[in-house]
Chains A and B, each alone.
Chain A
Amino acid sequence: EAQVTQNPRYLITVTGKKLTVTCSQNMNHEYMSWYRQDPGLGLRQIYYSMNVEVTDKGDVPEGYKVSRKEKRNFPLILESPSPNQTSLYFCASRANPNTEAFFGQGTRLTVV
């Protein structure tokens, strides 16, 4: 089954403790992205990747890092999480620039 898998689904952490949210897709897609969803703000892109070792900033990259060492994986790293990073995070993948995105189930992160 074609899918985008994120882990974990839920995470509660403390300020400053490094964390990684994993994302994996099995569709051999070139493009992968991370979004955060906040009430009233819709989805805002954090980072995206056009291919292995090629990444670029989205609209809200501050406080986040990504890497794309393999085509299927695109982890999101929070080196020093802060409470304003409490949000619902989605990973998505696309076959090429002009096609629809496929989304993971989301990761609800709470930073206390």
Chain B
Amino acid sequence: AQSVTQLGSHVSVSEGALVLLRCNYSSSVPPYLFWYVQYPNQGLQLLLKYTTGATLVKGINGFEAEFKKSETSFHLTKPSAHMSDAAEYFCAVIASGYSTLTFGKGTMLLVSP
């Protein structure tokens, strides 16, 4: 079985501050990991993904995430928050060999001026 835990349903940062959204996964086999962003009244858009190879993954809009197998984590970071980053972020996992894409419950990022 696979699962995803996102710590913090809401995260608040000031514009220009570091963004850190936490994601831990549970998988009995090597995972494929994803971060998605959802803006109001829109579908989910892929930010970045880890499949194999380099553990530090760069995505769109200046976001990046690091796969840490020993910590079963895939935290999302951005050095400097922008007002336009305010959205809901979802971490998701596929266990290798399985077909189900499992999502965390989401973290709402709030950015204040």
Contacts and interface: CB of A to CB of B under 8 A. Distances in A.
B38 to A, nearest CB: 9
Given A100-B34, A106-B43, A48 B103 contact: no
B9 A100 contact: no
A50 B99 contact: yes
Contact of A105 (B42, B46, B106): B42
Interface string A79-112: 0000000000010101001101111111000000
Of the four ranges (under 10, 10 to 19, 20 to 34, 35 or more), the interface on chain A belongs to 20 to 34
A58 interface: yes
Contacts of B55: none
Contacts of B98: 97
Interface stretch (A14-22, A37-45, A68-76): A37-45
Nearest to A104: B43
Of the four ranges (under 10, 10 to 19, 20 to 34, 35 or more), the interface on chain B belongs to 20 to 34
A4 B42 CA distance: 13
Most interface-central of A31, A40, A58, A101 (chain B CB within 10 A): A101
Interface string A47-64: 010100000001000000
Given A58-B100, A101-B34, 13 more contacts: A33-B101, A42-B90, A42-B103, A45-B100, A45-B102, A48-B100, A50-B99, A92-B101, A97-B97, A100-B49, A101-B44, A101-B92, A103-B45
Interface of A: 4, 31, 33, 35, 40-45, 48, 50, 58, 90, 92, 94, 97-98, 100-106
Interface of B: 9, 32, 34, 36, 41-46, 49, 51, 90, 92, 94, 96-106
6 contacts: A31-B99, A40-B105, A42-B103, A98-B96, A101-B34, A101-B101
